[in-house]
Amino acid sequence: MRLEKRELIYEGRAKKLYQTDRPELIVQEFSDETSLSDGKMKAKVKNKGTLNNQSSSYLFEYLEGYHIPTHFVEQLSDCEMLVKRLETVPLHW
């Protein structure tokens, strides 16, 4: 699927979300950064973004295989996936 990645719409501790030229789809980019000591210190962990993207993609494909719907569309690169835009529940642990 060919689309244009546009402006940043959200930046969290572990990922960034970007608008695309299709309003119903966004690009989710996983970061190599991590927070230590309750967010007081930040560090980069080599390949963390890639591992998070690959494991998340696998999990979403697995769920879809059992007809459990997700927001996942496809893995775009080592650290990016294409997902459906949706309303989020602000849950963090």
Within a domain: residue 91? no
Nearest Cα residue to 7 out of 19, 21, 15: 19
Q: Give the residue numbers spanning the domain of 18.
A: 5-84
**How much is the average pLDDT of 46-67?**
96
| Count of structural domains within the chain | 1
Within a domain: residue 69? yes
CATH code, domain carrying 63: 3.30.200.20
What percent of the chain lies above the pLDDT cut of 90?
A: 70
Nearest Cα residue to 87 out of 63, 75, 74, 71: 71
pLDDT classification of 37: cutoffs 50, 70, 90: low
Within a domain: residue 92? no
Q: How far apart are CA 31 and CA 12, in angstroms?
A: 9
Task: Dump pLDDT digits (tens) for 59-86.
Answer: 999 999 999 999 999 999 999 999 999 9
Q: CB within 8 A of 47, min separation 6: which ones?
A: 32
Within a domain: residue 14? yes
Are 74 and 1 within 8 A, CB to CB? yes
Within a domain: residue 50? yes
Within a domain: residue 89? no
39 pLDDT more than 70? no
Lowest mean pLDDT among 2-6, 79-83, 88-92: 88-92
pTM (2 decimals)? Answer: 0.83
**Residue 53: exposed, middle, or buried by beta-carbon count in 10 A (0-12, 13-18, 19+)?**
buried
